[in-house]
A and B are shown apart, each in its own frame.
Chain A
Amino acid sequence: MDAPVVDVRALRKVYRVTERETGLAATFRSFVKRRYREVLAVDGITFHIDPGEVVGFLGPNGAGKTTTLKMLSGLLYPTGGEATVLGHVPWRREGSFLRGMTLLMGNRSQLVWDIPAADSFLVLKEIYAVPAAQYKRTLDELTELLELQPLLHKPVRGLSLGERMKVEFAAGLLHSPGVAFLDEPTLGLDISMQGRIRRFVAEYNQRTGATILLTSHYMDDVVALCRRVIVIHRGVLLYDGGLADLAARMAPYKRITVTLRASVGDLSSFGEVISNNENVVTIHVPRTQAAERTARLVRELGDQLSDISVEDPPIEEVIDKVFASERPLAEATA
């Protein structure tokens, strides 16, 4: 069994934030003396990631996802705990560590806006000391995967958000890192661009075997890319395991949606009625009995039944339940 690529133990981060009150009197007071408040961003989290995995890091805003990623990429040093990435302590910022990993931030741009991306790439090539042959190979591959050809020679400021995101991705991967931290990579993109980025990430992982840890609050990102998901809320890990397992444990029910020709009265004998809206009724039934209940519904409703569908609960519902629970779930076996 390979050593984990990312190994995190009891990692902790506390911020000091200046306190600002409203009102004119408070403003003058702050001219003289400032007040501080401590914010606990990450409260002792532990997990590890094996080579080649694509792991989703889920949590609402302010949960501690970005803080964790920053610590793992060496941008922040923690208040407590330990972590190693690729065998290095990230915040020591050793050369070989920095050359082996990348951090992409969805809402921030590292490229110089006034010059074409291709020029920025050349500078990055020198900074990472990428040999010319390898650079050409990597660039060609990325250009193909991301359809960059028309974008490379225009100033970055002239690109649309989606195009800029693609170019930023390429910039972050020019040095072929073994680990990629992606912080909200599809933020603000339209649906089709989101899909393209997701496909790219999946392909990249397959082709290069790079380990990927991605944060998002778009459920679709995680569902499309990650078999394993880590849920964080208020700086604490609530769940670490397979996405499917999570659904099975948090939401051990199936959702049956019934469309009726006319109202048939109360259906609660079939299961928990969640909504009843103009003859479209949604019922939650225990998983194990889903087939049986469905059959019963078909039989007993007869030709009052216009349509019926049986689905897993939407993943958002599952995750919301996890957030609401606020207690860590016992770790599922991987």
Chain B
Amino acid sequence: MIRIYRQLLVAQIQAAAQYRIQAVLWMLFSIIRPVIFLAAWTAVANAQGGSVGGYTTSDFAAYYIALTIVGHLNTAWNSFEFEFEVRQGRLSPKLLRPLHPLHYSVVENLIWKVTTFLPLMLVCVVIALTFQVKWNAEWWHLALFVPSMILAAALNFMIGWVTATATFWLQRINTVNTLLQRTSFIFAGQIAPLSLMPTALQVISYSLPFAYALAIPAEILRGGVTVERGLLYLVGQAVWLAVAIVAYRFAWRAGLREYSAVGA
């Protein structure tokens, strides 16, 4: 398996080299939304004398920068790619090979994240300076952050795969993707830090997997949690990841059956 991954890596890096500029451009994608909401919340905080619900303007900046980093590192676009491949008829050849299509996706995903990490950090510095951030994190926050981030990325990736399997039934999963995106939009911590949301919405957020892939690692990174809370969050993430993997297994098997019935 290691050898396979190494080969895939080489091949994908070659492919990625062809589209280098576009890779960087796509990185910008992950930072736009946090910046927008940061600007908005800053305006709100300023209208209220500098802070809102326990968050000062620099707290907002820290939160949204953390969100940017997490949002970048947990990106998964496999559901879109998958639909496209199926439509182009490129899935069948992959299915004939003894390697699960998922692995190509993993490698592609990792390479993009690695190659765009540096530009991302640069942009974060710019944001930090613009919004005058103040960082509260301790060393153990960062120690907690590493596993948290890995779990978050894996979780998002698996959610992406489960979504992707909808292609087998719907062919065009545009709507499914958007539905998931919008749900994530409200409940993953993008509109506002979770504690600033109305209570009912907070409860829902904690019951859905999306916050565990975004807001929670972000809070850990910016230093907004205690040790106990942090560890509890990690457990929550692991649970959701397990659920996602099980869901994916079911969906993939059922989907393949449907796929070969309808025709490749």
Binding site for B on A (CB under 8 A): 24, 27-28, 30-31
- Shortest CB distance B39–A (Å): 34
Asked whether, in the complex, the Cβ of B10 is within 8 Å of the Cβ of A24, the reply is yes
- Shortest CB distance B133–A (Å): 32
Q: Does B130 contact A (CB under 8 A)?
A: no
Contacts of B13 in A (CB 8 A): 24, 27
Contacts of A30 in B (CB 8 A): 17-18
- Shortest CB distance B252–A (Å): 24
Q: How far is the CA of A31 from the CA of B13 in the complex (A)?
A: 10
Question: Which residue of chain B has the shortest Cβ distance to A18 in the bound complex?
Answer: B18
10 residue pairs bridging A and B, Cβ less than 8 Å apart: A24-B10, A24-B13, A27-B13, A27-B14, A27-B17, A28-B17, A30-B17, A30-B18, A31-B17, A31-B20
- Shortest CB distance A113–B (Å): 9
Contacts of B14 in A (CB 8 A): 27
- Shortest CB distance A29–B (Å): 9
Contacts of B17 in A (CB 8 A): 27-28, 30-31
- Shortest CB distance A109–B (Å): 12
Q: How far is the CA of A83 from the CA of B195 in the complex (A)?
A: 72
**Range class of the B interface residue count:** under 10
Contacts of A24 in B (CB 8 A): 10, 13
Q: How far is the CA of A24 from the CA of B20 in the complex (A)?
A: 15
Q: Which 6 A-B pairs have the closest CB atoms?
A: A27-B17, A27-B14, A31-B17, A30-B17, A31-B20, A27-B13
Q: How far is the CA of A30 from the CA of B18 in the complex (A)?
A: 8
Question: Which residue of chain B has the shortest Cβ distance to A32 in the bound complex?
Answer: B20
Q: How far is the CA of A31 from the CA of B18 in the complex (A)?
A: 8
Contacts of A27 in B (CB 8 A): 13-14, 17
Q: How far is the CA of A24 from the CA of B14 in the complex (A)?
A: 8
Contacts of B18 in A (CB 8 A): 30
Q: Which residues B8-25 have CB closer than 8 A to chain A?
A: 10, 13-14, 17-18, 20
Question: Which residue of chain A has the shortest Cβ distance to B115 in the bound complex?
Answer: A31
Q: How far is the CA of A321 from the CA of B250 in the complex (A)?
A: 60
Q: How far is the CA of A28 from the CA of B13 in the complex (A)?
A: 9
Question: Which residue of chain B has the shortest Cβ distance to A22 in the bound complex?
Answer: B14
Question: Which residue of chain A has the shortest Cβ distance to B9 in the bound complex?
Answer: A24
Q: How far is the CA of A52 from the CA of B67 in the complex (A)?
A: 69
Looking at B10, B14, B17, B18, the one whose CB has the most chain A CB atoms below 10 A away is B17
Contacts of A28 in B (CB 8 A): 17
Q: How far is the CA of A127 from the CA of B151 in the complex (A)?
A: 53
Question: Which residue of chain B has the shortest Cβ distance to A29 in the bound complex?
Answer: B17
Q: Mark B14-56, 1 if CB is under 8 A from A, else 0.
A: 1001101000000000000000000000000000000000000
Q: How far is the CA of A28 from the CA of B10 in the complex (A)?
A: 11
Contacts of A31 in B (CB 8 A): 17, 20
Question: Which residue of chain A has the shortest Cβ distance to B13 in the bound complex?
Answer: A27
Instruction: Name 8 extra pairs, CB < 8 A, besides A30-B18, A31-B20.
Output: A24-B10, A24-B13, A27-B13, A27-B14, A27-B17, A28-B17, A30-B17, A31-B17
Question: Which residue of chain B has the shortest Cβ distance to A158 in the bound complex?
Answer: B263
- Shortest CB distance A35–B (Å): 13
- Shortest CB distance B167–A (Å): 15
Q: How far is the CA of A27 from the CA of B10 in the complex (A)?
A: 9
Question: Which residue of chain A has the shortest Cβ distance to B14 in the bound complex?
Answer: A27
Q: How far is the CA of A27 from the CA of B14 in the complex (A)?
A: 6
Q: Which residues B156-206 have CB closer than 8 A to chain A?
A: none
- Shortest CB distance B197–A (Å): 41
- Shortest CB distance A34–B (Å): 10
- Shortest CB distance A172–B (Å): 23
